[in-house]
């Protein structure tokens, strides 16, 4: 008999088939017993009538515990009215009777669930999140691949800091000191000079001792870089990109959104153009609601929420003060003191999901910036070469996958957006 999955059943009505999976729930009411089976592709109600499956099997049923692994054989039936299927069982083969499963169908505390993350992943909610994450990642790849970008992944071991030295993860590389990558950007600037349009997609690391709902220690980032794009072209690209990801996920994953009870009407308007605010404009809005905000400072999470709550679409905030931004950001010659970069702030208080902008392409200014930031010129010798040999205006950005998944799914915390999160204070399982 050919192997089938629950997701295939609509094409197998009235046929006799076998399924393998796990017991999600059991229920019995005298002459009829019900097993809710899950196999990763869906859930199925399996119905046991004594007259169809015989008295022995009918008794065996009572041994079944939550998460026991089984093979069931029977006939596929369609619900007369709803788009649902069930199995009239004739055979049951128990592979293992599961020990008392720690996660029941009642509520559990977050710490307990995180400690049992490897099992928690089997729940309907976690399965829906993992599927949406997958959809987001495949739409990211399709977006760039369909526009002629080349994937040129960046190394994880890096000799230098891209995003400041305060949150670097130090590690040993034989006799040398090395760091885990905070961003692949600097390497994408080199491959952009070779291929024009490139991106990398991989894990990045920040040793941030912060327990917030948006910080992970290890997170995945996609980073496109485009030769000869300026900061405005860069915002256009980010806008098309975010619209594509959100709209495609909405279209392809209605069941998962339903399982999460996500209010999808909040995502429907996520289409370009997105509002664009100069730092000064955003600062004006924040000052009115947060008297503690100091002009010139970076925005805190509550500040981002104040601005983004004024709009039903994500917003770009551009031209942050150069002093609070990374060494590689180009200062605007027409707007002194401000950097040609932008962040994209998501709706519903989710805050920054993208950071990026135009890179400094003038060698002497860049060398000065490296010095001002207390970084070593020697570490950036190769990077500065990009300004020596055919320097070119170029821009790019980084989108954090987990923050994007949290926003799209409407989750309260990034801890549920990746199968095995690395958080400050949690590295198990
Ligand atoms: O704004 P960031 O630090 O920008 C960069 O790393 C640039 N080098 C990217 C580039 O231009 N190629 O990080 C970019 C994004 C943030 O907007 C956020 O979505 C995510 O990465 N991010 C984090 N996500 C989870 N946990 C953290 N600790 C994160 N730090 C940044
Ligand atoms: Mg940032």
Note the pLDDT tens digit of each residue in 170-208. Answer: 999 999 999 999 999 999 999 999 999 999 999 999 999
Strand partners for 315: 345
As annotated, the residues of the chain forming the CATH 2.40.50.140 domain(s) are 6-96
Exposed, middle or buried, 110 (CB in 10 Å: 0-12/13-18/19+)? exposed
Tokens 């996660």: give the residue. 103
CB neighbours (10 Å) of residue 291?
7
- Distance (Å, whole) CA 73 – CA 77: 13
To test the pocket of ligand 1, the residue of 153, 214, 221, 417 to mutate (highest count of ligand atoms within 8 Å of its CB) is: 221
pLDDT of 80 > 90? The answer is: no
- Distance (Å, whole) CA 325 – CA 243: 26
CB neighbours (10 Å) of residue 392?
15
Beta pairing, strands 32-38 & 43-49: antiparallel
**Atom 28 in ligand 1: residue holding the nearest Cα:** 215
To test the pocket of ligand 1, the residue of 168, 398, 418 to mutate (highest count of ligand atoms within 8 Å of its CB) is: 398
**Atom 24 in ligand 1: residue holding the nearest Cα:** 400
Strand partners for 151: 199
Tell me which fold the domain 117-416 belongs to.
BirA Bifunctional Protein; domain 2 (3.30.930)
The response to whether residue 223 sits with its C-beta less than 6 Å from ligand 1 reads yes
Q: CA end-to-end span of the chain, whole Å?
A: 38
The DSSP line for 309-330 is: TT-SS-EEEE--BGGGS-TTBP
Note the pLDDT tens digit of each residue in 104-158. Answer: 988 999 999 999 999 999 999 999 999 999 999 999 999 999 999 999 999 999 9
Mean pLDDT computed over 347-353:
97
Q: What is the per-residue pLDDT for 105?
A: 84
Architecture field, domain 6-96: Beta Barrel (2.40)
Nearest atom, ligand 1, residue 352 CA: 17
- Distance (Å, whole) CA 6 – CA 19: 7
Q: Compute, in angstroms, the gap from residue 400 CA to the centroid of ligand 2.
A: 10
Is 156 in contact with 181 (CB distance < 8 Å)?
Answer: yes
Where is average pLDDT lowest: 58-62, 80-84, 222-226? 80-84
Cα atoms in the Cβ-side hemisphere of radius 13 Å centred on 113: 17
Q: Compute, in angstroms, the gap from residue 344 CA to the centroid of ligand 2.
A: 9
Q: Which residues contact 210 (CB under 8 A, 6 or more apart)?
A: 424
The response to whether residue 314 sits with its C-beta less than 6 Å from ligand 1 reads no
- Distance (Å, whole) CA 424 – CA 216: 7
E strand or H helix that includes residue 364: helix 363-372
E strand or H helix that includes residue 223: strand 218-227
Q: What is the per-residue pLDDT for 337?
A: 98
Strand partners for 227: 394
Does the predicted TM-score (pTM) go above 0.75?
A: yes
Cα atoms in the Cβ-side hemisphere of radius 13 Å centred on 4: 22
Assigned token pair, 68: 């026991």
- Distance (Å, whole) CA 347 – CA 264: 12
> Looking at residue 154, what DSSP letter applies?
P
How long, in residues, is the chain? Answer: 429
- Distance (Å, whole) CA 116 – CA 145: 37
Mean pLDDT computed over 236-256:
98
């Amino acid at each position: 008999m050919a192997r089938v999955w629950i997701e295939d059943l609509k094409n197998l009505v009235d046929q006799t088939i076998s399924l393998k999976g796990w017991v999600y729930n059991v229920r019995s009411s005298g002459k009829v017993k019900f097993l809710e089976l899950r196999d990763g592709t869906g859930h199925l109600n399996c119905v046991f009538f004594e007259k169809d499956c015989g008295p022995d099997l009918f008794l065996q049923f009572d041994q079944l515990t939550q998460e026991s692994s089984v093979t069931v054989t029977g006939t596929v039936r369609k619900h007369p009215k709803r788009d649902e299927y069930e199995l009239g069982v004739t055979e049951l083969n128990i592979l293992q009777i599961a020990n008392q499963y720690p996660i029941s169908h009642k509520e559990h505390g977050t710490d307990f669930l995180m400690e049992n993350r490897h099992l928690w992943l089997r729940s309907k909610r976690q399965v829906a999140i993992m599927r949406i994450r997958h959809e987001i990642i495949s739409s990211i790849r399709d977006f760039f691949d369909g526009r002629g970008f080349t994937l040129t992944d960046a190394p994880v071991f890096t000799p230098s800091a891209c995003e400041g030295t305060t949150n670097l993860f130090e590690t040993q590389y034989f006799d040398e000191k090395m760091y885990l990558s905070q961003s692949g950007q600097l390497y994408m600037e080199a491959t952009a000079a070779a291929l024009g349009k490139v991106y990398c997609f991989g894990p990045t690391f920040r040793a941030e001792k912060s327990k917030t709902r948006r910080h992970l220690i290890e997170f995945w980032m996609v980073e496109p870089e485009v030769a000869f794009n300026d900061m405005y072209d860069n915002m256009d690209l980010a806008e098309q990109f975010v619209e594509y990801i959100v709209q495609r996920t909405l279209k392809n994953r209605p069941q998962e959104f339903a399982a999460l009870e996500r209010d999808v009407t909040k995502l429907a308007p996520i289409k370009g153009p997105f509002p664009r605010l100069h730092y000064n404009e955003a600062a004006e809005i924040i000052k009115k609601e947060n008297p503690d905000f100091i002009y010139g400072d970076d925005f805190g999470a509550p500040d981002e929420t104040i601005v983004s709550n004024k709009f039903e679409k994500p917003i770009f905030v551009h031209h942050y003060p150069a002093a609070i931004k990374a060494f590689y950001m180009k200062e605007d010659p027409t707007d002194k003191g401000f950097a040609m970069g932008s962040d994209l702030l998501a709706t519903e208080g989710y805050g920054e999901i993208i950071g990026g902008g135009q890179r400094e392409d003038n060698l002497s200014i860049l060398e000065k910036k490296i010095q001002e930031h207390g970084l070593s010129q020697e570490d950036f010798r190769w990077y500065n070469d990009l300004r020596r040999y055919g320097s070119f205006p170029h821009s790019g950005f980084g989108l954090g996958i987990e923050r994007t998944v949290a926003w799209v799914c409407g989750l309260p915390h990034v801890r549920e957006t990746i199968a095995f999160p690395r958080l400050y204070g949690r590295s198990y399982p």
